[in-house]
Amino acid sequence: MSNTLIIDTSFGSTVGIVGHEPIVETDSRTHVERLQVNIAKVVEDAGLKPSDIDRVVVGVGPAPFTGLRAGLVAAKAIAFANNAEILGCDSLLPQSLMMRSGAFEKARKNGVICKDLLLNIPDSVDFCDSNIRHYVLSLNDARRRQVYMSLYDGEGNALINMDIDYPQNVVARVNEYLASKNCENYCVDVLGHGAKKYVEDWRNIANVGVIAEVCALDLGVQGLQIFEQCSLECANKDEYVKAVEPLYLRRPDVSVPNPLKHVLGSGEANKAKEK
């Protein structure tokens, strides 16, 4: 059995040893400073030494650059020092597994999920009804009034590939896709960070089901297990995740500057005159 360390900084930070309670930091302004301290604590609380870690699973995004980079650097350093296996996991797929495995509904009934994060739970939706086809719109807050998103079917296949877009556009794309497939007797569950901030937009999704500001790692011990399982599945089919490369999606703000303009009296202007 592997001693697996989970590190994810796609939203705040979550660190934990699979099988034990994680430490979650929701304030993205402090999680970088707390990351190493929290890693040391979860290893100690699990009764392990750092050298006992033989697998590291790290979130590769999509997420903003700075926070994501901190988690990746820490994970790669620990894996290198311990000669441990390192795997990546994107931050969107685990929400699909959380829903289709029944982990979300179990956590909801057991009170693991704070009621304030459950923004829409339709009375008419039966999670056990096999006649209802469930789709999962998985989100992560991209800031600047945008979200990272992907739409999954009931088997975890991406129907709308991972992207960054404005909530109104996401709603239109989801509705257009499902209408084009003539889908009937279905609902779309909206999960992840960004669900609460743009809840009024998500209510415009046709046959919207659950809307919850909840990601898999919010489920504690079970969330770590889901994250590890997704990483193992992704390693077999996703080269970016297998290579543990960051998924930023947003184009960088910096760009190559334009060539300097010739100004009268400048060195370049004088050279032009001499020619």
Give the CA radius of gyration of the chain. 22
Query: What pLDDT, in 10s, does the model give residues 96-121?
Result: 999 999 999 999 999 999 999 999 98
- Strand partners for 205: none
The answer to whether residues 222 and 122 touch, using CB atoms and an 8 Å cutoff, is: no
Q: Cα–Cα distance between 174 and 171 in angstroms, integer?
A: 5
* pLDDT at residue 261 tops 70: no
Mean pLDDT for the chain?
Answer: 88
Say how far apart CA 199 and CA 212 lie, in whole Å: 9
Q: Closest by alpha carbon to 152, among 168, 165, 134?
A: 134
C-alpha 34: how far from chain center:
20
Tens-place pLDDT, residues 195-249: 999 999 999 999 999 999 999 999 999 999 999 999 998 877 765 556 688 888 8
pLDDT, residue 33, reads 77
Mean pLDDT of 60-88: 92
Pairing of strands 85-89, 55-59: parallel
Would you give the distance in Å from CA 232 to the centre of its chain?
A: 16
Q: Going by DSSP bridges, is the β-strand pair 186-192/133-143 parallel, antiparallel, or unpaired? A: parallel
Burial 86-111 (b: 16+ CB within 10 A, else e): bbbbbbbbbbbbbbbbebbbebbeee
How far, in Å, CA of 239 to CA of 148, rounded? 19
